[in-house]
């Protein structure tokens, strides 16, 4: 698959089989995540991997956005101590959500290539996740990625026409300069 095909076929999966995600595949996903762009090369992300059913159930209990029964999850966190150590002054000079989003996209695109389903989840109780994962106060959970093998195919939603969303040189500008 080309990169563009991978992008086009990636879907947010919310129904999974009971097949376990191999640790080797999770390590590949994490390697892809650590190569994501990061503001000021701070590399402040920290990744918590959950594979045990009991821990995933606890995470689901405090994450209303987590649907289905994934067999693994990655919680992407920002280590604010690292941000400060590396000279960042949040929030003006450091946008942890940007770094989180780019790492998440790498994870989800590689998951698609590996035949795994994934879904980004922002709807969760941050304080509860902090306690559940024994995170120090400086490590902030930003996003959860559920993982597993898709149970069935997911359909692509319609996308707006490119002519409707792209402007040239100014709002409503055209490629010919008009």
pLDDT at res. 88: 62
The pLDDT value recorded for residue 131 is: 97
* DSSP 8-state class, residue 155: P
Strand order in the sheet with 72-79: 45-50, 72-79, 139-148, 117-121
Q: Is residue 108 within 8 Å of residue 120, measured between CB atoms? A: yes
Average pLDDT of every residue of the chain: 92
Rounded to an integer, what distance in angstroms lies between the CA atom of residue 129 and that of residue 1?
36
Residues in the chain, pLDDT under 50 = none
Reported as a single tens digit per residue, the pLDDT across 75-120 is: 999 998 988 887 766 555 567 789 999 999 999 999 999 999 999 9
Which secondary structure element, helix H or strand E, spans residue 46, and what is its range? strand 45-50
**φ and ψ of 83, to 5 deg:** -55, -50
Q: How far apart are CA 171 and CA 107, in angstroms?
A: 33
The pLDDT of residue 40: 83
pLDDT at 154: 82
């Amino acid at each position: 698959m080309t990169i563009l095909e991978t992008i086009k076929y990636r879907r947010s999966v919310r129904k999974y089989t009971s097949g376990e995600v191999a640790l080797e595949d999770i390590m590949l996903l994490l390697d892809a995540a650590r190569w994501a762009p990061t503001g000021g090369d701070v590399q402040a992300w920290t990744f918590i991997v959950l594979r045990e059913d009991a821990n995933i159930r606890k995470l689901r209990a405090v994450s209303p956005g987590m649907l289905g029964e994934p067999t693994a999850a990655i919680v992407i966190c920002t280590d604010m101590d690292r941000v400060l150590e590396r000279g960042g002054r949040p929030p003006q000079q450091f946008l942890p959500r940007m770094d989180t989003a780019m790492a998440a996209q790498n994870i989800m695109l590689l998951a698609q290539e590996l035949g795994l389903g994934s879904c980004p989840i922002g709807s969760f109780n941050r304080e509860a996740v902090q306690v559940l994962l024994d995170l120090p106060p400086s490590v902030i959970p930003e996003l959860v990625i559920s993982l597993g093998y898709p149970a069935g195919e997911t359909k692509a939603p319609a996308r707006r026409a490119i002519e409707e969303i792209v402007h040239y040189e100014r709002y409503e500008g055209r490629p010919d300069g008009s």
